Structure formats: C-alpha cells, structure tokens
C-alpha cells in the first residue's frame, strides 16, 4: 500500500455523476449542431420569383448569392476530468450559440437584401412598363398626327386640283367664247364683205342702168328735136319742190316717195344729224332719169347710201293724176 501511494501522486477524489454530465453535454451539443445545420439548410431555399419580359437588360437578381458554408460543428473533445473541462465545455457552448446567432443574423440580412433587391426589380419593371406605355402613347399620337397631316395635305391637293380644273374650264370657256366671237366677227366681216360686194355690184348695175337710161333719154331728145324750150334736160316745165313732188305734185305724193325709197336704204353707221336732199328727174311713167345730191349731209358715205336708195327705187310712184312729176326733191334721214 505504501509503495502504491508512492508510485501515484495524490489526487482529489472523483465526484460522483461527472461522466453522466459529460455524456449529456456531448449529446446536447450534437443535437444543437444537428438543429442548427438543418435550420440553416431549411432557410436556404430560394423563393419562387415572377417572370416578366424586360425591354432593357436588368441584372439577374433572382439567383441568391451563395451563402457561406455552415460552420462545421467540431465534435467536442473529451472533457478533462477536472473543472477546466466544464469551463471549456461552457465556453464552447457559448461559441456555438454565438455562431448560431451570427448565422441567423446573416440569414436574416440575406433575406432582407433579397427582398430589397426584389422590390427594386419590381420598381424598375414598373418604371420600364410606364416608359413603354408612354412611348406607345407617344407613337400612337404621332401616328394620328401624321394621318391628320396626310389627310389635310390630300384635301389641300384636292382643292388645288379642283381650282386648277375650274380655272382650266374657265379658260377653255373664255377661249371658246373668244373663238366664237372671232368666228362671229369673221362671219360678220364675210357678210359685210359680201354685202359690200353685192352693193358694189348693185351700184355698178345702177350706174349701168343710169347710163343706159341717159342714153335712151338722149336718144329720145334727139328724136324730139332737142325738146321744147328745155333747160338742158327737157324737163324745165316741171318745177322743183321740197320733197313733195314740186308744184305739180299732190299733197300726199311725198309720202308715197318716202315709202318707196326708205326700204332701199342700207346704212349701218352713225344716224345722228344726217340729212341729205336728193334732186330727182323722172319721166311721166315714173322712170328715173337722173338723181343728184342737192344738199349734202357732210357725210359722203351717207350721201352715197341715200343716192343709191333713190336709184334702187326706180320707177318712182305715180301721182293721183296717173303721172309722175318730172322734177322733185327727196329729203332723206337715216332710220333711228
């Protein structure tokens, strides 16, 4: 006994129940590590995100950042058989609790960051949708404005075309009227030329007839031996009147002469202030022997027209006694 005590130094007596306490502590630490591991793994599940079509490139925030691997729980070393073992076990337990608390705080921080990132993504998506809607509205408004401008341009072009058509039609009508007026003028000129030609032919015919008449009168005068005390034309016995057949004519003879001569007047000129007195010599049968201008109107054209009208009126009307006065005056004015 003495030898045994000398070989092994003196040791404090063992407390009863220490091994059981150590075993329970180890079991508790194992269970705590198990629960911490599965709790962290359960909270690492990625929340289901919503799909949306984006117009611009948005950083993908749906994929969570990889979490740091869980701190492996080291198996507790076998506790010493002294009080230092209990102290070490308690310190280890506190460290594990602090590690679990830090892991839980890290998980909460990660979840908060994911929520903030999701909220930010939703805001960006809403802003993009609002911008897209505004762009669509602006595009629709611009398209409507372009359609209105095109419609206004088409209407303006149509009005211009109508104005051009109206102007063209008016010009065509004016041209037609001008052409019609020109044709009418040409026709009138042609008719006037034809009338002038006919008048010239009539005048030539009248002159020819007058020449023939004078020749016949000269022949008759030659046959009668120079007349009976005539004054050059064998009609001196007949006096001269002032348009009513002279002193040998009845009161109504002048009207007969006017009715015979006036239809033969051809005059298209001025009618104001024109008056011509024509001296006429006729045979008793009414045959016109001569017609001359006794008093001119001052317009030679009208005088010629009045003289031609008298020449066309051959033979002159007879008076109430059945004979035509030998000499009388006819006063002619243009109708108007």
Return the closest-CA partner of residue 85 out of 18, 31, 169: 18
Q: Is the overall model pTM greater than 0.85, yes or no? A: no
List the domain boundaries for the chain.
238-332
> How does pLDDT run across 135-150, given as a tens digit for each residue?
999 999 999 999 999 9
Q: Torsion angle, CA of 222/225/228/234, rounded to 10 degrees?
A: 10
> How does pLDDT run across 184-197, given as a tens digit for each residue?
878 877 777 776 67
Phi, psi of 330 (to 5 degrees): -120, 120
CA distances from 240 to 37, 105, 236 (A): 166, 159, 9
CA distances from 89 to 33, 37, 99, 102, 328 (A): 14, 20, 15, 20, 179
CATH number for the domain whose boundaries are 238-332: 3.30.1150.10
pLDDT in tens, the chain (336 residues): 445 445 555 666 666 677 788 888 899 889 888 888 777 665 555 555 566 665 655 555 555 556 666 656 566 555 545 567 788 888 888 899 999 999 999 999 999 999 999 999 999 999 999 999 999 999 999 999 999 999 999 999 999 999 989 988 988 888 888 888 888 878 877 777 776 677 667 666 666 666 666 666 655 555 444 333 333 232 223 333 333 334 457 888 888 999 999 999 888 888 788 899 999 999 998 899 999 999 998 898 999 999 999 999 988 999 888 889 989 999 998 876
CB neighbours (10 Å) of residue 238?
21
């Amino acid at each position: 006994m003495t030898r045994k005590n000398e070989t092994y130094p003196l040791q404090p007596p063992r407390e009863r129940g220490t091994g059981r306490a150590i075993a329970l502590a180890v079991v508790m630490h194992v269970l705590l590590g198990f629960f911490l591991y599965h709790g962290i793994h359960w909270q690492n599940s990625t929340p289901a995100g919503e799909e949306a079509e984006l117009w611009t490139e948005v950083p993908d925030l749906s994929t969570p950042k990889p979490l740091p691997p869980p701190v492996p729980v080291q198996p507790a070393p076998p506790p010493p058989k002294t009080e230092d073992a209990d102290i070490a076990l308690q310190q280890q337990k506190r460290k594990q609790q602090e590690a679990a608390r830090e892991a839980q705080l890290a998980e909460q921080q990660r979840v908060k960051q994911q929520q903030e990132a999701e909220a930010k993504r939703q805001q960006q998506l809403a802003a993009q949708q609002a911008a897209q809607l505004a762009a669509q509205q602006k595009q629709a408004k611009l398209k409507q404005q372009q359609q209105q401008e095109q419609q206004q341009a088409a209407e303006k072009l149509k009005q211009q075309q109508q104005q051009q058509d109206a102007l063209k039609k008016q010009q065509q009508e004016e041209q037609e009227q001008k052409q019609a007026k020109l044709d009418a003028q040409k026709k009138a000129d042609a008719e006037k030329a034809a009338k002038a030609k006919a008048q010239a032919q009539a005048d030539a015919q009248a002159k020819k007839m007058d020449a023939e008449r004078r020749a016949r009168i000269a022949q008759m005068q030659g046959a009668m031996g120079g007349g009976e005390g005539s004054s050059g034309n064998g009609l001196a016995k007949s006096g001269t009147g002032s348009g009513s057949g002279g002193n040998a004519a009845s009161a109504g003879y002048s009207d007969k002469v006017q009715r015979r001569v006036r239809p033969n007047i051809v005059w298209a000129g001025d009618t104001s202030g024109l008056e011509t007195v024509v001296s006429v010599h006729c045979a008793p049968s009414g045959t016109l022997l001569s017609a001359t201008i006794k008093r001119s109107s001052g317009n030679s054209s009208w005088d010629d027209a009045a003289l031609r009208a008298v020449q066309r009126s051959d033979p002159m009307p007879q008076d109430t006694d059945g004979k035509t006065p030998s000499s009388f005056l006819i006063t002619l004015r243009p109708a108007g």
